[in-house]
């Protein structure tokens, strides 16, 4: 598609209807983060509490096991660390260039 | 009530379908059109003088004559809101209201047009409060003009029926996809029982077709988000697109009226001229004052005045060029406003007409009249008075910038000014 | 399907990341839980609010399910129209019948205040839809103003903690009770931290033969003045103090789903959020006592409706305040 915000008035979708399901994915909200979640996979029980409590759908799973955190979108809220029953997630200060 | 005799068809409608004559009021005539259209959803809240439409239609639903889902909502705002949901879901959705009900809907009027949903509304024009008044004038319709709807206006129960069908085809046309209002004068048309020639059901079905939107909430696999937040990066573009669609609706209205003429023998135009061919003194109006206006024109003609009348059938988009053309021979134009545009330069219809004629170098003299507010009876005398003032202007060549209030009990001290 | 998180991770919740809700916001967590719990194809109607502006900003949408927003007050009516359209389109043979659920998300402003009449009308008409109130006790999208759901004493930008008036002067509306009074098939209170309870309720609501209403406690770290990581902890506290009991009204029968006993005094909850700081700092025992009395009254009224004996606060308010 055309780059967002460059279409002429006659090209924009009629009535402002959005036809790009889930397209917010391109907004990299990870840039908001000031704290970074670090998972200790040795302690993780794959209970998926972090997965269900994450406001930003950042916990990536495969076949019922936790794989990684989507740092492109993680806003660093720390709910996962607070709620993890085995305390295997630690929030550490985000270091940026 | 139903007269099943076939009407003799007129010469110019040799191919038109045989109509059936029924004696109904304007409200029931619209209900009859709704029965034939058989929309998926009707959502309405009762308000005088619209109740005739929805009560009759509720009977059709209760008797199983139509398969429509009729939502008895708890307010007019909800009526249009429910139509918005239904229309986005892919249904043909229709509502009806009047005066204060339209005022309560106001937020949703712009939402409907902005979301490009082809909802049809039958607006039984009524005075706005306060003071509370349930009777007819055009205050509501005039307040609606800038909300992005196509606005059609009739003058009789027959036209209420005809335009109910036309409105449907205009709104849903792919080049338009905008809501359309069918303006019906409260009481004077909604409650007037007249002969109405109705088309056969199959002819109506064929004319209005089915609503087949490109996307909808209920379409298989749909992932559309309707009504998203539009910020400074897109809102302007969407509004411009909406404006273009509204202007593009005029040829669609004209084509729909033409096609309607072919099936019915009733050839409506976006403007209804009366004795306009050589008219120099012209009354412009909208709605049910047609009888009085025509009679006044006839009387003036009999007295040797080249008088004519022009009725506005398409209020939005305002057919600027067609009006300029229709009034090209006029030397004096009087515009009849059945509403006050409080604090405006001039009253609403006069403002539109003045704008339409502004680019003409040989502009006619123009004069504003206000009449019939809150159901004040519109008399032939008032129209004669108006034409009389126009004739005076024609003779003197002087334009009057004051408004004349027809049928108003004037302040004795200022009575001379406006008589 | 039983509710096991590992099984649920195999599903697509239909709500994508990259939305603009604040870090730590409870609303998207609730949305994901609701969408995951549904068995049928959803169509969503949104009221204007944080969720709507943050998840559907043209040309983007976080949603992968069909959705409509048209105004602030009328999301329940949008659902009415969609449900009516569905019925009529099926009746006219213009679409095939298929299992669909019409879900509304509205904030407490949209539900308790501006959209109250629209919701009540839709409930009374009996449309088959599920209304989820994302209750964060205020107009957070416009900058944290008080609503009919904001509790007594809370600071908001329109009920500032002043020298004369210490925050919001009124208690709150019992919206769940009001909806239950409509006699609709299913009404419940849930809270964001208790995913299993919430998702179970969504499943019950989906099977209801008519309107269902879930009032979901949705803490707002921005508006309530607490750290984002505490969202679930605060939700839990609200349940433990019986400020927000988890219960349901299924076909008119009241049932407690959460703890049967109040285990903490309200002051524990008040201390957890900056919006009540003035009550504690300025020693406003009158207000704190009134809050506790309101909580106790509503808790015991609910217990009575559930067929349980009344219960006193574990630690009296006076004791809690004097312990400070």
Nearest chain C alpha carbon to A21: C64
Given CB atoms, is A62 within the 8 Å cutoff of chain B? Answer: no
Residues of C in contact with A78 (CB under 8 A): 24, 227-229
Name all domains of chain B by residue range, CATH numbers in brackets: 2-264 (3.40.50.970), 271-418 (3.40.50.920)
Residue A88 lies in a domain: yes
Cβ(C106)–Cβ(C82) below 8 Å:
no
Q: What is the pLDDT of residues C132-146, one digit of tens each?
A: 999 999 999 999 999
DSSP state of C23: T
On chain C, the residues whose CB falls within 8 A of the CB of A33 are: 23
The per-residue pLDDT of chain C, averaged, comes to 95
Q: Is A67 on the interface with C (CB under 8 A)?
A: no
Planar angle of CA B246, B247, B252, nearest 5 degrees = 85
Question: Is C36 in contact with C8 (CB distance < 8 Å)?
Answer: yes
Report the C-alpha gap between B53 and B235 in whole angstroms.
Answer: 37
How far is the C-alpha of B195 from the C-alpha of B23, rounded, in Å? 5
pLDDT at residue number C315 = 58
Cα C298 to Cα B218: distance, rounded to the nearest angstrom: 41
Chain-centroid distance, C-alpha C46: 14
End-to-end CA distance of chain A: 32
pLDDT value, residue A5: 81
Neighbours of chain B (3+ CB pairs under 8 A): A, C
Q: What is the CA radius of gyration of chain A?
A: 17
Q: List average pLDDT for each run of 10 residues in chain B, which is 419 residues long.
A: 49 69 98 98 98 98 98 98 98 98 98 98 98 98 98 98 98 98 98 98 97 96 97 96 98 98 97 98 98 98 98 98 97 98 97 95 96 98 98 96 96 61
pLDDT for res C323: 42
- Nearest in space to C113 (alpha carbons), one of C147, C76, C74, C71: C147
Q: Are B299 and B280 in contact (CB under 8 A)?
A: no
Q: Which of C58, C65, C233 sits opposite A16 (nearest CB)?
A: C58
CATH number at residue A81: 3.30.70.20
Partner-chain contact C56 B227, CB within 8 Å: yes
Res B419: pLDDT? 40
Helix (H, G, I), strand (E, B) or coil at B42: strand
3-state DSSP helix/strand/coil percent for chain A, to nearest 5? Answer: 20, 20, 60
> Could you tell me the CA-to-CA distances from C71 to B76, B84, B140 in Å, in that order?
14, 10, 22
Q: What is the pLDDT of residue B415?
A: 54
Q: Would an 8 Å CB–CB cutoff place A92 in contact with chain C?
A: no
Q: Does A87 touch chain C (CB under 8 A)?
A: no
Domain assignment present for residue A28? The answer is no
Residue pLDDT, tens place only, C123-176: 999 999 999 999 999 999 999 999 999 999 999 999 999 999 999 999 999 999
Residue B17's pLDDT is 79
Q: Do C27 and A53 touch (CB under 8 A)?
A: no
Q: Does A6 touch chain B (CB under 8 A)?
A: no
CA–CA gap between residue B29 and residue B34 (Å, rounded): 9
Give the distance from residue B112's alpha carbon to the nearest chain C alpha carbon, in angstroms: 8
Size of interface B-C (CB pairs under 8 A): 164
Question: Per-residue pLDDT tens for C79-110?
Answer: 999 999 999 999 999 999 999 999 999 999 99
Distance CA C190, CA C244 (A): 8
User: A-chain residues within 8 Å CB-CB of B242?
Assistant: 15
Can you name the residues that pair with C139 across neighbouring β-strands? C145
E strand map for A1-97: 35-39, 59-62, 65-69, 89-93
**From the CA of A82, how many Å to the nearest CA of chain C?**
6
Separation between Cα atoms, residue B224 and residue C67, nearest integer Å: 6
Measured CA to CA, the distance from residue B253 to residue B176 in angstroms comes to 10
| Residue A4 belongs to some domain of the structure | no
Domain boundaries, chain C: 5-261
> Mutate which of B87, B225, B226, B242 to disrupt the C interface (most C C-beta within 10 Å)?
B225
What is residue C28's DSSP assignment? Answer: H
Interface A:B, Cβ pairs < 8 A: 51
Calpha distance A84→A48 (Å, rounded): 9
A72-95 confidence digits (pLDDT tens)? 999 999 999 999 999 999 999 998
Tens-place pLDDT, residues C259-300: 899 999 999 999 999 999 999 986 677 999 999 999 999 999
The predicted pLDDT at position C321 comes to 46
Topology classification of domain C5-261: Rossmann fold (3.40.50)
Q: Which of C43, C46, C84 is closest, CB to CB, to B41?
A: C84
Please, which residues 120-139 of chain C have a Cβ atom closer than 8 Å to chain B?
120-121, 124-125
pLDDT at position A60: 97
Establish if A31 belongs to a structural domain.
no
- Domain tally, chain A: 1
Residue B6, helix vs strand vs coil: strand
């Amino acid at each position: 598609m055309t780059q967002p915000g460059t279409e002429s008035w006659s090209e924009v979708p009629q009535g402002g209807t959005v036809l790009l399901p889930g397209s917010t994915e391109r907004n990299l909200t990870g840039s908001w983060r000031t704290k970074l979640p670090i998972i200790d996979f040795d302690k993780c029980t794959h209970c998926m509490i972090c997965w269900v409590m994450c406001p930003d759908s950042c916990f990536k799973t495969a076949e019922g096991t936790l794989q990684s955190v989507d740092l492109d979108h993680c806003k660093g809220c720390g709910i996962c660390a607070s709620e993890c029953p085995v305390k295997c997630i630690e929030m550490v200060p985000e270091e940026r260039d | 009530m139903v007269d099943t005799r076939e009407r003799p068809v007129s010469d110019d409608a040799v191919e038109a379908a045989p109509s059936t004559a029924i004696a109904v009021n304007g409200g029931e005539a619209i209900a009859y059109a709704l029965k034939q259209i058989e929309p998926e959803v009707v959502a309405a809240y009762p308000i005088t003088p619209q109740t005739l439409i929805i009560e009759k239609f509720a009977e059709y639903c209760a008797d199983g004559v139509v398969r429509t889902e009729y939502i008895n909502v708890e307010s007019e705002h909800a009526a249009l809101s429910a139509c918005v949901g239904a229309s986005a879901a892919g249904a043909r959705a229709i509502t009806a209201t009047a005066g204060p009900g339209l005022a309560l809907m106001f937020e949703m009027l712009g939402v409907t047009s902005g979301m490009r949903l082809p909802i049809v509304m039958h607006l039984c024009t009524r005075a706005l409060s306060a003071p509370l008044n349930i009777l007819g004038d055009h205050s509501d319709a005039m307040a609606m003009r800038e909300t992005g709807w196509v606005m059609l206006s009739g003058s009789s129960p027959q036209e209420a029926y005809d335009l109910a069908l036309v409105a449907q085809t205009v709104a849903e046309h792919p080049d338009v996809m905008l809501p359309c209002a069918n303006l019906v004068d409260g009481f004077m048309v909604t409650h007037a029982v007249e002969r109405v020639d109705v088309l056969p059901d199959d002819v109506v079905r064929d004319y209005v077709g089915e609503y087949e939107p490109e996307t909808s909430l209920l379409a298989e696999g749909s992932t559309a988000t309707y009504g998203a937040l539009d910020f400074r990066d897109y809102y302007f573009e969407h509004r411009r697109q909406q404006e273009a669609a509204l202007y593009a609706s005029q040829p669609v209205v004209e084509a729909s009226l033409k096609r309607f003429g072919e099936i019915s023998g009733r050839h409506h135009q976006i403007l209804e001229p009366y004795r306009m061919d050589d008219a120099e003194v012209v009354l412009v109006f909208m709605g049910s004052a047609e009888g009085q206006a025509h009679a006044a024109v006839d009387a003036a003609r009999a007295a040797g005045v080249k008088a004519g009348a022009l009725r506005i059938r398409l209020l939005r988009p305002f057919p600027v060029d067609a009006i300029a053309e229709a009034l090209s021979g006029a030397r004096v134009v009087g515009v009849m406003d059945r509403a006050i545009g409080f604090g405006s330069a001039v009253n609403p219809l006069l403002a539109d007409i003045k704008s339409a004629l502004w680019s003409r170098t040989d502009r006619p003299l123009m004069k504003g009249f206000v009449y019939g507010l809150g159901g004040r009876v519109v008399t032939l005398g008032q129209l004669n008075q108006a034409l009389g003032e126009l004739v005076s202007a024609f003779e003197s060549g002087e334009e009057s910038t004051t408004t004349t209030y027809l049928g108003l009990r004037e302040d004795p001290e200022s009575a001379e000014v406006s008589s | 399907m039983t509710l096991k998180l590992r099984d649920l991770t195999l599903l697509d919740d239909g709500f994508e990341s990259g939305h603009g809700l604040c870090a730590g916001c409870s609303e998207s967590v609730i949305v994901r839980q609701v969408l995951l719990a549904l068995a049928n194809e959803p169509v969503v109607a949104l009221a204007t609010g944080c969720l709507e502006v943050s998840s559907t900003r043209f040309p983007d949408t976080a949603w992968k399910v069909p959705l409509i927003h048209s105004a602030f007050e009328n999301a329940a009516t949008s659902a009415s129209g969609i449900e009516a359209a569905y019925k009529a389109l099926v009746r006219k043979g213009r679409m095939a019948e298929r299992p669909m659920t019409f879900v509304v998300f509205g904030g407490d402003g949209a539900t308790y205040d501006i959209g109250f009449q629209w919701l009540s009308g839709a409930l009374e008409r009996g449309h088959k839809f599920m209304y989820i109130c994302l209750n964060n006790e205020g107009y957070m999208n416009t900058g944290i103003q008080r609503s009919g759901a904001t509790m007594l004493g809370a600071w908001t930008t329109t009920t500032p903690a002043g020298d004369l008036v210490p925050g919001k002067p009124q208690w709150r509306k019992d919206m769940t009770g009001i909806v239950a009074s409509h006699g609709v098939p299913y009404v419940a209170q849930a809270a964001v931290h208790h995913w299993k309870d919430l998702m179970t309720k969504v499943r019950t609501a989906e099977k209801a033969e008519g309107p269902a209403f879930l009032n979901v406690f949705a803490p707002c770290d921005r508006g309530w003045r607490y750290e984002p990581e505490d969202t679930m902890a605060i939700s839990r506290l609200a349940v433990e103090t019986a400020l927000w009991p988890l219960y349901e009204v299924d076909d008119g029968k009241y049932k407690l789903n959460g703890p049967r006993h109040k285990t903490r005094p309200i002051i524990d909850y008040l201390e957890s959020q900056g919006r009540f700081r003035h009550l504690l700092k300025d020693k406003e025992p009158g207000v704190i006592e009134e809050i506790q009395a309101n909580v106790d009254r509503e808790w015991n009224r609910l217990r009575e409706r559930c067929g349980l004996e009344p219960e006193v606060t574990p630690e009296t308010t006076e004791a809690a305040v004097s312990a400070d």
